[in-house]
Chains A and B, each alone.
Chain A
Amino acid sequence: QKEVEQNSGPLSVPEGAIASLNCTYSDRGSQSFFWYRQYSGKSPELIMSIYSNGDKEDGRFTAQLNKASQYVSLLIRDSQPSDSATYLCAVLNTGTASKLTFGTGTRLQVTL
């Protein structure tokens, strides 16, 4: 079973701080990685995709990928209370066409 693992949290950070969310995956051949944000009771919203090693920045969000260590992370700078949500990591496994495997998510709480 190809797995994606995340710490369920909650991860609590003060407003204005950097939140760091981590995800590890078991399929060494995975090529595509995605971060979704899911507010309570709502559907997931795609916030970042990353395909190659290194960093990818989009506004306050930075995705980091290290294929050798099989982890992908999401940094949120200047965290705001509106960032409080569950963040889902998703990985496209090799040989599975367009099937994504999702982690169970990390719940982030940004405190005032």
Chain B
Amino acid sequence: DGGITQSPKYLFRKEGQNVTLSCEQNLNHDAMYWYRQDPGQGLRLIYYSQIVNDFQKGDIAEGYSVSREKKESFPLTVTSAQKNPTAFYLCASSIGYSPTEQYFGPGTRLTVT
């Protein structure tokens, strides 16, 4: 089955710790994205990558970092510099640069206390 996987589904961390969220796709999509969703707010773009070894900041990149060493994988690190890390994190991918029918993984719900 082709699709996007994210792990873990739920993640709990103490404040001050870095945490890495996994995103893997076997759809052979070129582009991958990370979004954050907070209650009552729309999805906000954190980072995106259109090709291996290249990525761009989205609208809310501060406190986050990413890598794209393989086409299938786009992990997101939430660093201790992120002031409000508790959120629902969504990874998405699309076939190419444009048009952008983006397909989402199941998400990771991160809680930082």
Q: A residues engaging B (CB < 8 A)?
A: 4, 8, 32, 34, 36, 42-46, 49, 51, 88, 90, 92, 97-105
Contact = CB atoms under 8 A, between A and B. Distances in A.
B10 to A, nearest CB: 11
Contacts, number: 62
Contacts of A8: 40
A36, A43, A92, A99 — most chain B CB neighbours (10 Å): A43
B42 A104 contact: yes
A57 B107 CA distance: 29
A100 B106 contact: no
Contacts of A97: 50, 56, 97-98
A98 B98 contact: yes
B37 to A, nearest CB: 9
Interface of B: 31, 33, 40-45, 48, 50, 56, 58, 90, 94, 97-107
Nearest to B35: A102
A102 B104 CA distance: 14
A102 B43 contact: yes
Given A43-B104, A43-B107, A104-B42, A92 B50 contact: no
A43 B40 contact: no
Contact of A32 (B48, B100, B107): B100
A32, A100, A103 — most chain B CB neighbours (10 Å): A100
B100 A43 contact: no
Nearest to B108: A43
16 contacts: A34-B102, A43-B105, A45-B104, A51-B99, A88-B43, A92-B99, A92-B100, A97-B50, A97-B98, A98-B31, A98-B50, A98-B100, A99-B48, A99-B58, A100-B100, A105-B42
Given A4-B42, A104-B41, A98 B107 contact: no
